[in-house]
DNA sequence: TCAATAAATGGTAGCGCTAACATTTGTCAA
DNA sequence: TTGACAAATGTTAGCGCTACCATTTATTGA
């Protein structure tokens, strides 16, 4: 059944030591004499021994699994975060276990329960909107927990993210600073982060006395450039006084731009466009597109690093990391004044 | 140490049966009387029992892990494939374990070894270019194996993909059919699939007597729209007679388009552009971009389904599935004749 | 030289579950 | 009513490893 079939006992016998010494030389080499260590290493190499993680987990009462719970595998934002996580974990003895909550709180709770029952080495969860029960599970978790994506009031343990509301505020203010007066907001499937961005948009627009609900478009469809075109078309038809759009992400922004190009609308002079996330493409589009740069891969990297460090007994200097954001001002909002 | 602490013995005691009956009611409910089954289910629910996968794996000699080895987590193509795999596996008792070979054959071999030592329930690997040793490991694997991404001569076990060479041939022929005579080929980091596409391009271009190495551009940099612009700029400067480009993927195609737009070059009349993969965005770009549609998510879905089916004892009707491709002809190659 | 101490190693038990076989209980025909 | 057989359940042993504690061996200072 097993491919290699080599167990720790085989290695021990061959190296002339007890299984315990082999086990130690693998996990705490400093506690084994150099001579034994070398001999054991040689035998391991020769026999092609690979420790059985299941046996190890059962005996040690913990696994080498770092659980990651995200609400979507479709959303590129999470692919970027995962990339950051994988980058850190790839060359460590730990492994990632991915769970997809599909934006359903009950699923998230079930996943949390399942993950915890596996005694993970650490847990990375998305957002701050867990159910009370999930929160409780995580607070009592026998491992460290990092919340990613956003910042919030009461961190369960550690946290890496940025303020979506503040980012949207700054982006909206950017539109006003560039001379736009009647900005709209486009969003696809509304998740908690989107809600906060929408709130940030509203904050600034209300302050400027330019609030108009007909310039806020959201749908339940998943985000795409095609949807960006559709929403933009709808916006132009129903709220023709609109002079700029803040898009909840860059797919929508690209779609919005394409719709304008198709209609022969002058971007940025007739319509200004600002995206969110700053995909690599925004800087090379024609015209180049203003976007709020977010640090998604870095978020994953830092979260994973925090887990690995605490596993080594090193506490992070700051348990809550604000990665911030940057509005990358480009041609799509460079209106002639 | 353990969060729930509830074991199968606790459930058994509470339900008034032996642990074995509990175990069976979970794995082979048909072999347990309805009465016991219900009682056990009630107790499990009440105590919040979750089986320990490590103990299960150790006792049963196999895990619920389906290993997936891909060469890149950065490349969107693989995100799409992973999405398909996750979609199928998410609601099953199986779990995905991802390994990144980084296009290094030795890493792939090491990953294969590690995965196999964990006695996976199945294995999904990318491509057909394994080392001899890796192939051998996979052929003797104690689980089913699916090769994805492309088709090849000697399948290790099962296979889902399409012919990249043929796809590039058809795409190149499309350019000629549309009236272009001096097509170029743009590629980023060259992997085995890219190589085959390049060969397909060359096949057709040579047959047409239009082969010119100065119209084949490849680099070691990872693919991006920015790179597409750079390569397109280089191409326009060094091979100005070029009248069309086949891009190895859609990022490059978008970049190429943007470069043309920036330079005021008429697409499709001065330059025709064809991408590869047919990202959702290609159909809504301005102009819309011709691309070779590939079925990436479906590839993952089918591969995962094949594994799950064989796990249930159901053999696939065809062990080798050719997903084909489709050239989506759009404005970017609709030259006025 | 010899205790006292540290360093290295080993023995025992058990993690939670399931395979394989053993036993008990239920069902049915004669 | 009983034996034959199937269905349901139980018993035993062990998967491969590590925690814990016991023992052996090396090292040191007086």
pLDDT tens digits for B168-219?
999 999 999 999 999 999 999 999 999 999 999 999 999 999 999 999 999 9
Contacts of B7 in chain A (CB under 8 A): none
Q: Is the pLDDT of residue B2 over 50?
A: no
Minimum distance, in Å, between the CA of residue B41 and any CA atom of chain A: 17
Instruction: Find the closest chain A residue to B48 by CA distance.
Output: A113
* pLDDT for the residue A2: 40
pLDDT in tens, B301-324: 999 999 999 998 899 999 999 999
Minimum distance, in Å, between the CA of residue A230 and any CA atom of chain B: 10
Q: Is residue A270 included in any domain, yes or no?
A: yes
* pLDDT for the residue A207: 97
Q: Verify that A183 and A219 share a domain, yes or no.
A: yes
Confidence of residue B1 (pLDDT cuts 50, 70, 90): very low
Q: Look at residue A181 and give its three-state secondary structure.
A: coil
pLDDT in tens, B105-141: 999 998 998 898 888 999 999 999 999 999 999 999 9
Centre a 10 Å sphere on the Cβ of residue A222 and count the other Cβ atoms it contains: 12
Q: Is residue A59 included in any domain, yes or no?
A: no
Does any strand D atom come closer than 7 Å to the Cβ of A31? no
Interchain contact B229–A (C-beta under 8 A): yes
pLDDT in tens, A98-132: 999 999 999 999 899 889 888 899 999 999 999 99
Contact call for residues A139 and A82 (beta carbons, < 8 A): no
* pLDDT for the residue B4: 56
Q: Verify that B237 and B250 share a domain, yes or no.
A: yes
Q: Verify that A180 and A286 share a domain, yes or no.
A: yes
Percent of chain A at pLDDT exceeding 70 = 99
Interchain contact B98–A (C-beta under 8 A): yes
Closest CA to B149 of B160, B165, B135, B139: B160
Instruction: Find the closest chain B residue to A262 by CA distance.
Output: B286
Interchain contact A48–B (C-beta under 8 A): yes
What's the whole-number mean pLDDT along residues A171-185? 98
Q: Which of residues 113-172 of B touch A (CB under 8 A)?
A: 113-114, 116-119, 137, 140-142
- The average confidence (pLDDT) of chain A is 94
Q: Verify that B168 and B289 share a domain, yes or no.
A: yes
Q: Verify that A141 and A187 share a domain, yes or no.
A: no
Confidence of residue B92 (pLDDT cuts 50, 70, 90): confident
Q: Is the pLDDT of residue A54 over 60?
A: yes
pLDDT in tens, A139-151: 999 899 999 999 9
Tokens of B190: 């060259």
Q: Verify that B264 and B199 share a domain, yes or no.
A: yes
Q: Verify that B84 and B191 share a domain, yes or no.
A: no
Q: Verify that A281 and A173 share a domain, yes or no.
A: yes
Q: Verify that A278 and A301 share a domain, yes or no.
A: no
Which CATH number do you get for residue B32?
1.10.260.40
Q: Verify that A220 and A246 share a domain, yes or no.
A: yes
- Which of A61, A76, A281 shows the shortest C-beta gap to B254? A281
Sheet holding A320-322, edge to edge: A95-100, A65-70, A122-126, A144-150, A158-162, A320-322
Q: Would the CA dihedral through A54, A60, A66, A67 be positive or negative?
A: positive
In angstroms, rounded to a whole number, what is the distance separating the alpha carbons of residues A115 and A99? 9
> What are the phi and psi torsion angles at A283 (to 5°)?
-75, -15
Interchain contact A254–B (C-beta under 8 A): yes
Which CATH number do you get for residue A300?
3.40.50.2300
Tokens of B144: 């089913």
CA-to-C1' distance for B36 and C23, Å?
18
Q: Would the CA dihedral through B251, A271, A253, A332 be positive or negative?
A: positive
Tokens of A26: 């693998």
pLDDT in tens, A222-249: 999 999 999 999 999 999 999 999 999 9
> What are the phi and psi torsion angles at A16 (to 5°)?
70, 30
Confidence of residue B93 (pLDDT cuts 50, 70, 90): confident
Distance, C-alpha B237 to centroid of its chain: 35
Does any strand C atom come closer than 7 Å to the Cβ of A76? no
Q: Is residue A83 included in any domain, yes or no?
A: yes
- A50 to A22, A297, B113, B131, B133: CA distances (angstroms): 12, 31, 8, 20, 17
Q: Would the CA dihedral through A208, A214, A215, A218 be positive or negative?
A: positive
Interchain contact A20–B (C-beta under 8 A): no
Q: Is residue A57 included in any domain, yes or no?
A: no
Contact call for residues B66 and B95 (beta carbons, < 8 A): yes
Confidence of residue A40 (pLDDT cuts 50, 70, 90): very high
Beta strand segments in A234-271, E: 244-247
CA-to-C1' distance for A38 and D30, Å?
36
- B202 to A114, B12, B169, B195, B325: CA distances (angstroms): 52, 68, 8, 10, 19
Confidence of residue A4 (pLDDT cuts 50, 70, 90): low
* pLDDT for the residue B169: 98
Q: Is residue A3 included in any domain, yes or no?
A: no
Confidence of residue B337 (pLDDT cuts 50, 70, 90): confident
Confidence of residue A337 (pLDDT cuts 50, 70, 90): confident
> Is the link from the previous residue into B268 a cis peptide, with omega within 30 of 0?
yes
- The average confidence (pLDDT) of chain B is 94
Query: What residue has token string 């998943």?
Result: A222
Q: Is residue A222 included in any domain, yes or no?
A: yes
Does any strand D atom come closer than 7 Å to the Cβ of B35? yes
Closest nucleotide over all strands to B6 (CA to C1')? C16
- Whole domain around residue B172: which residue ranges? 164-293+327-333
Closest CA to B292 of B242, B232, B228, B248: B248
In angstroms, rounded to a whole number, what is the distance separating the alpha carbons of residues A156 and A144? 9
Residues 6 or more apart in contact with residue A301 via CB below 8 angstroms:
A84, A85, A87, A88
Minimum distance, in Å, between the CA of residue B154 and any CA atom of chain A: 22
Q: Is residue A1 included in any domain, yes or no?
A: no
> What are the phi and psi torsion angles at B114 (to 5°)?
-60, -50
Q: Verify that A168 and A284 share a domain, yes or no.
A: yes
* pLDDT for the residue A91: 81
CA-to-C1' distance for A47 and C10, Å?
23
Interchain contact A74–B (C-beta under 8 A): yes
Beta strand segments in chain A, E: 65-70, 95-100, 122-126, 144-150, 158-162, 183-187, 216-218, 244-247, 272-277, 290-293, 320-322, 326-328
Closest nucleotide over all strands to B15 (CA to C1')? D9
Q: Is the pLDDT of residue B167 over 70?
A: yes
> Is the link from the previous residue into B193 a cis peptide, with omega within 30 of 0?
no
pLDDT in tens, B325-336: 999 999 999 999
Q: Is residue B1 included in any domain, yes or no?
A: no
Quote the number of domains for chain A: 3
Q: Verify that B172 and B267 share a domain, yes or no.
A: yes
* pLDDT for the residue A5: 81
Closest nucleotide over all strands to A2 (CA to C1')? D15
């Amino acid at each position: 059944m097993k491919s290699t079939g080599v167990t720790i006992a085989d290695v021990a016998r061959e190296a002339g030591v007890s299984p315990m010494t082999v086990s130690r030389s693998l996990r705490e080499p400093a506690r084994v004499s150099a001579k034994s260590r070398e001999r054991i290493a040689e035998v391991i190499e020769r026999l092609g021994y690979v420790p059985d993680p299941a046996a190890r987990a059962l005996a040690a009462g913990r696994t080498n699994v770092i659980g990651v719970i995200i609400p979507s595998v479709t959303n590129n934002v999470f692919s970027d975060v995962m990339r950051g996580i994988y980058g850190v974990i790839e060359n460590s003895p730990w492994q990632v276990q991915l769970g997809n909550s599909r934006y359903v709180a009950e699923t998230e709770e079930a996943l949390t329960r399942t993950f915890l029952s596996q005694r993970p080495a650490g847990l990375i969860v998305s957002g701050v909107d867990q159910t009370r029960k999930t929160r409780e599970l995580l607070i009592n978790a026998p491992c460290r927990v990092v919340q990613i994506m956003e910042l919030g009031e009461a961190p369960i343990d550690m946290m890496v993210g940025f303020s979506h509301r503040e980012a949207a505020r700054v982006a909206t203010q950017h539109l006003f600073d560039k001379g736009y007066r009647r900005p709209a907001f486009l969003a696809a499937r509304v998740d908690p982060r989107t809600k906060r961005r929408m709130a940030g948009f509203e904050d600034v627009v209300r302050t400027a006395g330019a609030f108009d609900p007909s310039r806020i478009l959201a749908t339940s469809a998943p985000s795409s450039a095609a949807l960006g075109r559709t929403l933009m078309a709808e916006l132009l038809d129903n709220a023709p006084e609109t002079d700029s759009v803040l898009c909840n992400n860059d797919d929508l922004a690209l779609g919005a731009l394409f719709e304008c190009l198709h209609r022969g609308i002058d971007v940025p002079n007739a319509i200004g466009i600002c995206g969110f996330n700053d995909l690599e493409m925004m800087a090379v589009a024609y015209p180049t597109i203003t976007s709020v740069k977010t640090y998604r891969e870095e978020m994953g990297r830092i979260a994973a690093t925090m887990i690995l460090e605490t596993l080594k007994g090193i506490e992070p200097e700051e348990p809550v990391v604000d990665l911030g954001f940057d509005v990358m001002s480009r041609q799509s909002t460079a209106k002639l004044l």
